[in-house]
A = this chain, B = another copy of it.
């Protein structure tokens, strides 16, 4: 192969490798989340990465340019297939396909990568991990309440203490009813209101007020058209949006007044009332609140919606303290399976954004010590003729359940210690001629001696540096290493 024919070692835009420490944290978080889902009775399901594009609910305006937003290609049968962009669309396909064989309700969890062909940016990747649970086939509000309780429990289990998160619940039917009661009945007009409310976080109450009314001119002079509501209608929507309160009962009281006797609004209110009762029965307290400002995008939700937000402050990219915000969300979507079967199948679920939650925990814990995943014990090779003896040591350590490896490179001893440091090894095992003669080994506590080890350049200097190392009899290798591991809390 000619030199200029060599491919460049690089990744496509928007994709990233996940190195060991980050990956260990993610796997451990996933394990914890899935254990919570299991505890609540959900069972695992895995669907493949590739689905038919039409089954994902993506339409093709132009056969040659499949819907932007997904990675699509033609299969051998010339039909379009695509990488899944979430875990909910494949679930709907699965339920529609197998509903006769499934228990009702069907309760599944799934964790895995999803792919979005969107503009990548800092912290925005084209492949990321979702971790979902859903209950399909039950219209009971106990399902929605359970989902909120499970989000709260999951956050606590991954290390967000009570008080540092909030699960915020709303019901789309309530706003819809309030709008209908005040004369905004057109679906398009209602959607414009939802769009305006969805911008509350970014624009504040005044910005939303403008968007609900005649429109808004931003700092750059650009004008966004308004929803065209009357002042009275605008204030009604804002009263609704501001009705959040730590007491679920207080919110229900406020909403009762706003909804009046509109049937859709009352239906939404009844749903929230049922959710409140179920939360009380489950002993779920103030970590799950009713917050009418929560809209959760504009997608397929049909009633209750909820999101889990982290309320502690972390510095944003400009160093200003900011609440971290939403790390999970969900709601009830009663229409998804109907796309396939024509039958209504009630469903409700939630999705945890694993990478976002990890980022939050990382920000938070960066100041705390001891978060790094420890490497293996490294048995160094001081004397190449003794490799067989070093290998026996490795085998002994592994047999005792201690993560260990032989140094397998060709570098000299000092560089071997550098390798052990680079790997995050807690202990280096060292034995040369003297040790073999005396029937001993040297154990170097690398956590303790990390700084010094980097400065050591030869074997004599190492011998002079005794602060972080000890001599144990060869037969006491495993015990000695275990003692250091215990001491360093590894």
CB within 8 Å for A18 and B46 given contacts A281-B391, A391-B142: yes
Q: Quick one: CB contact mask for A51-71 with B, threshold 8 Å, 1 for yes?
A: 110110100000000000001
Is there an interface contact between A12 and B50, defined as CB atoms closer than 8 Å?
Answer: yes
CB within 8 Å for A38 and B403 given contacts A97-B9, A277-B388: yes
- Complex alpha-carbon distance, A142 and B378, angstroms: 14
Q: Find A392's partner among B107, B117, B282, B391 (CB 8 Å cutoff).
A: B282
Is A40 positioned at the interface, with any CB of B under 8 Å from its CB?
Answer: yes
Is there an interface contact between A113 and B408, defined as CB atoms closer than 8 Å?
Answer: no
- Complex alpha-carbon distance, A49 and B114, angstroms: 10
- Complex alpha-carbon distance, A473 and B148, angstroms: 30
Task: Choose, from A75-83, A215-223, A293-301, A324-332, the stretch at the interface.
Answer: A75-83
Q: Find A7's partner among B71, B142, B340 (CB 8 Å cutoff).
A: B340
Distance of A68 from chain B, by nearest CB (Å): 9
Copies per assembly: 2
User: In the assembled complex, which residues on chain B have CB atoms less than 8 Å from the CB atom of A71?
Assistant: 50, 73
Interface size class of A (residues with CB under 8 A): 35 or more
CB within 8 Å for A40 and B405 given contacts A52-B10, A75-B12: yes
Is there an interface contact between B104 and A419, defined as CB atoms closer than 8 Å?
Answer: yes
CB within 8 Å for A105 and B7 given contacts A12-B81, A49-B113, A395-B281: no
Is A187 positioned at the interface, with any CB of B under 8 Å from its CB?
Answer: no
- Complex alpha-carbon distance, A291 and B376, angstroms: 32
Q: Find A44's partner among B13, B20, B143, B387 (CB 8 Å cutoff).
A: B20
Task: Choose, from A132-140, A264-272, A459-467, the stretch at the interface.
Answer: A132-140
**Max chain B C-beta neighbours (<10 A), residue from A3, A10, A43, A54:** A43
User: In the assembled complex, which residues on chain B have CB atoms less than 8 Å from the CB atom of A47?
Assistant: 17-18
Task: Closest B residue to A282 by CB, please name it.
Answer: B395
Is there an interface contact between B13 and A75, defined as CB atoms closer than 8 Å?
Answer: yes
Is there an interface contact between A422 and B103, defined as CB atoms closer than 8 Å?
Answer: yes
Please name 7 further chain A to chain B contacts, defined as beta carbons within 8 Å, in addition to the given A41-B423, A73-B73, A138-B409, sorted by A numbering.
A11-B51, A13-B76, A20-B108, A48-B113, A49-B113, A146-B408, A281-B391
